[in-house]
Structure 1
Amino acid sequence: MGIECSSVVAVPRSEVFAWYSRPGAFARLAPPWQPVTPVAEADSLRDGQAVLGLPGGLRWIARHDPAGYDPPHRFVDALVTDGPASLPAGLLLRWRHTHDFDIIDDAHTRVVDRVDSWIPAFALRPMFDYRYRQLIDDLTAHGRAAGHGFAPSTIAVTGASGLIGSALTAFLTTGGHTVLRLVRHQPDSADERQWHPDDPAPGLLDGVDAVVHLAGASIAGRFTAAHKRDITESRIGPTRRLAECAARAGVGTFVCASAIGFYGYDRGDEVLDETSTRGDGFLADVVSDWEAATGAAAESGVRVVRVRTGIVQSPRGGTLKLLRPLFTTGLGGRIGDGSQWLSWIGIDDLVDVYHRALWDVDLVGPVNAVAPQPVRNAEYTKTLAAVLNRPALLPVPEFGPGLLLGAQGSRELAEASQRVAPMRLLRAGHTFRRPELEATLRHLLGRTG
């Protein structure tokens, strides 16, 4: 048994092979709907070893075969055992994966995947369809940036291990950029630097071309005094001090996470763009102060971009991770009457927004990172249920979110209604990978067939 799949990429073979050989490719190609987690990447396609985490603490270990290494034409990996956690997969399954890269012409490459395995082809095909979409979209994005003069750069990232940070750093490194992860613990590798949010070291950003600041406590939870303090203190002070550090270091670009919470929790049907005024509520106050904390960098001449992010769609985190099991079992439903506006964005489109913020020198100030087609909660519910082929018959009563989040948390999170438009991106001619909700969910959940 086995499978053979292929796709044509409008990129020269040497560049496609180089993409696969760089750190981050393993993570970028891992389907997010599968119950596996990339643990370690191979340090070489010739003889390295990649590790996937499986449920129950088990491991899938893929070792590259030196005999099959023929750059830029081919590399091969096979399932092996290495320690007790890898024994169940290694002994029960067979897996040998040959990656071929064939020249069509100077500008086009055929990527061919041949797998010898007991796993049936129908179970593998959605994975390879996803991998090809990711490969093509990522290479297209990197090519667009290079066409605008964005050369390989050194980019410091806070929050690199989070949902957004892990996707962004993998994307950047496959594009040939050097990522320095700013971490609070003692560095474990050469690509980490220790960052003390309350007192950054004077040389923290030495040699850095750009900063992407993503760190901050999760806003999910009851809005108790302690939780609100954590939300505020993890953002305002650390951002101000990091911006001051960027100013002193002469960093060219400072991209800071922000949120559409700036516009308040309910503005009715008003279309909100980057020129809209601040709204009401705790989150609006926090976001306003958060954005203001970047002032030291902007005043020193650093180009500052504030990415006001909507509801991120990914099975690995956020609302979709919470809703997917409910909808899969037929227990999902709208919240209240479902009339609330939901301004969403797929994780890969969000990565592209951060990428554009790094290379588009005309982007300055707030940028709404949302898809161009917001939906109401009832439409989101209907679409997710249809993608999962399940009914959505159990609406959540209006008092339900309040039991978990409290009155204020429910009002500003679960019941929030924000109709936000990405006008800065649209006017810049930005291309969204998947501007429609259904296409995004199908891609992320492996339901495109």
Structure 2
Amino acid sequence: MRIVATHRIESPHADVLAWHERPGALVRLTPPGVATIDDPTAGGIRAGRVVGAHMGPTALPLRPAWVLRHAEATEAGRFVDQQVSGPWRSWQHEHGIVVDPADPSATLLTDTIEVELPGGVERSTPVGAALERRVRRLLAFRARQLREDLALHTALAAVPRRTIAITGASGLVGTQLAALLESGGHTVRRLVRKDRPGPGEIRWDPRAGELDPGDLEGVDVVVHLAGRSIATRWTDAAKREIRDSRVEGTALIARTLAGMTDGPRTLVTASAIGVYGPQRPGEVLTEEDTAGTGFLADLVRDWEAATAPASRAGVRVAQLRTGVVLSDGGGSLLPQLPLLLAGVGGRLAPPDAVTSWITLDDLVRAYATVALASSAEGPLNAVAPHPVTQAELVRALGRTLHRPAVVPVPAAGPALLLGTEAARELVRADQRVDATRLQQAGARFEHPRVEEALHHVLWR
């Protein structure tokens, strides 16, 4: 089967080629739900480079390996990768990156894929036709992602190249943020808990309170994302772990930065709109609003307060209060997809409950903007500018997936899985959160409305 697709990128050839050469490019071109790159720190299109990946979202228990090797590459921008081992009988992907002859300021990407399916399945069969549609959607996603990332890098072109240390760099958000920064020419250092950190890594142990200030010398910005997932059953032990993983880690970083005379001068931390409490019907919530009640509200108050030592020492501190993150690779959307694709999915909360959401890619671009090109301090609501009701969200999901989405999930389902408290705060929340302050800080939204957002994250 041969698949050929050409996409036009409104950026100079040299910029597009340089972007492909940098670490992070392949991660940014790969939807998180499709595969995870084994070594996200590697980059380049040189002949001989071997790329390993594991297929499917990280939440899956069994993820087949796929290994590719760059068989050819030219300085003009043509390179070819071939399957070494993986799911296909054979796979060859030729990438062409050339100046658009109709417009020298633009670039044409031409992808030519030769794939032989297991069992000799042909393009004319339903399986072959489905694969071709899926590949073409994936190539369109890659072109759109490249355009949007290059637009951000162009907007930040005047910012000097920085060194950014990231905690939680192997998580859903951290992996994409590190890749976005590296593909823009910045240097990323990942904070890890290994006894023997590798190149580009910094060892820390938030439980033991261990972080050597000397390891942060030369770092300009710290982005703190680490923390135990809240998408779990909230037993007393789990709540302690969730709280300690956020508050203790944040306090350690803040103390360390406060004690440095020539250390990082910017700290950007994760936070959550859970601070407003789960049930705020009829209100438009801004950063000036009072905190609500509940486990998440109490957690976020303590989490954000733990940054105080850094603020008092003159470090610029910003906290991104994140809403529901839309991604095909994790978050709240992933568990819903099987039911929705089967045509038996629907809303998780009352139809008029408001969901404040943001795509994974707009979120990581917001982190990059606040970290590198903003003077904003304090909390920032990291949500898209157009929240939706649960009824609107499921209608948009149904249209995007071409499936009915009319079967509400009984309230007992999430409660059985997560417990009553977590289900109330995570699944059945009603929060209309305002994004104005984040926009004033310079963040731009490529996916401001939910239907176009879903088309992007589900590459439809």
Alignment TM-score, normalising by the size of structure 2: 0.90
Q: Distance in 2 between matches of 1:275 and 1:247?
A: 26
Q: How does 1:292-371 map to 2 (within 5 A)?
A: 292-371=305-384
Q: 1:403, 1:94 → 2: CA distance?
A: 44
Q: Distance in 2 between matches of 1:393 and 1:69?
A: 50
Please give the per-residue CA displacement for 1:316-354, whole angstroms capped at 9, x wherever unaligned.
111111111121112212235322111000000001110
**Aligned-partner Cα distance in 2 for 1:219–1:379:** 25
Q: Structure 1: how far apart are the matches of 2:332 and 2:394?
A: 12
- 5 Å-filtered alignment, 1:40-55, equals 40=39, 43-46=43-46, 47-54=48-55
User: Which is further off, 403-412 or 436-445?
Assistant: 403-412
Alpha-carbon offset, residue 118 of structure 1: 3.8
Q: How does 1:8-157 map to 2 (within 5 A)?
A: 8-34=8-34, 36-40=35-39, 43-46=43-46, 47-54=48-55, 56-65=62-71, 68-81=72-85, 86=86, 89=88, 92-102=89-99, 104=101, 107-118=105-116, 120=123, 121-146=132-157, 149-157=158-166
CA change 1:123–1:375 in 2 (3 A) is closer
User: 1:376 and 1:311 mapped to 2: Cα distance?
Assistant: 13
- Name the aligned partner's letter for residue 386 of structure 2: Q
Using the alignment, how far apart are the partners of 1:96 and 1:395 within structure 2? 42
Give the whole-Å Cα distance in 2 for the aligned partners of 1:173 and 1:430: 19
String of CA shifts for 1:4-47, please: whole Å, max 9, x gaps: 2222223222221111111111111113443x332236654222
Which amino acid counterpart does residue 139 of structure 1 have in structure 2?
L
Structure 1 contact 200–245 (Cα < 8 Å) conserved: yes
Moved more, 332-341 or 228-237: 332-341
Q: Render the CA deviation track for 1:271-293: whole Å, top value 9, x for unaligned.
A: 00111111111111110111111
TM-score normalised by L of structure 1: 0.92
SS at match of 1:217: coil
The unaligned stretches of length 5 or more in structure 2 are: 57-61, 118-122, 124-131
Inter-partner Cα distance in structure 2 for 1:57 and 1:274: 41
Among candidates 182, 187, 190, match of residue 178 of structure 1? 187
Contact (CA 8 Å) 2:55, 2:64: kept in 1 or not? yes
Identity %: 43
- CA pair 115-400 structure 1, distance change in 2 beyond 3 A: closer
Secondary structure, aligned partner of 2:174? helix
For 2:410 and 2:84, the matched residues in 1 are separated by: 50
Residue 315 of structure 1 aligns to a residue in which SS? coil
- Work out the CA distance in 1 between the residues paired with 2:451 and 2:169: 28
- Which whole-Å CA distance do the structure 1 matches of 2:43 and 2:413 have between them? 48
Mapped contact 2:25–2:43 kept (Cα < 8 A)? no
Moved more, 432-441 or 335-344: 335-344
| Displacement over 6 Å in runs of 4+ | none
Q: Which amino acid aligns with 1:40?
A: D
Mapped to 1, the partners of 2:212 and 2:336 lie a distance apart of 41
* Other-structure match for 2:128: none
Are 2:223 and 1:212 aligned? yes
Distance in structure 1 (CA, Å) of the matches to 2:134 and 2:350: 38
Partner AA of 1:160 in structure 2: A
Whether contact under 8 Å (1:32, 1:445) holds in the other structure is no
Cα shift at 1:429: 5.5
Compare 50-59 and 107-116 and name the one that shifted more. 50-59
Structure 1 residues 337, 44: closer, same or farther in 2, change over 3 A? closer
Match of 2:174 in 1: 165
| Cα distance in 1 for residues equivalent to 2:28 and 2:244 | 32
Structure 1: gaps spanning 5 or more residues: none
Equivalent pairs, count: 435
| Distance (whole Å) between structure 2 residues aligned to residue 299 and residue 9 of structure 1 | 45
Equivalent residue for 1:202? Answer: 213
1:256 is displaced (CA, Å) by 0.4
Write the distance in 2 (CA, Å) between the matches of 1:404 and 1:304: 36
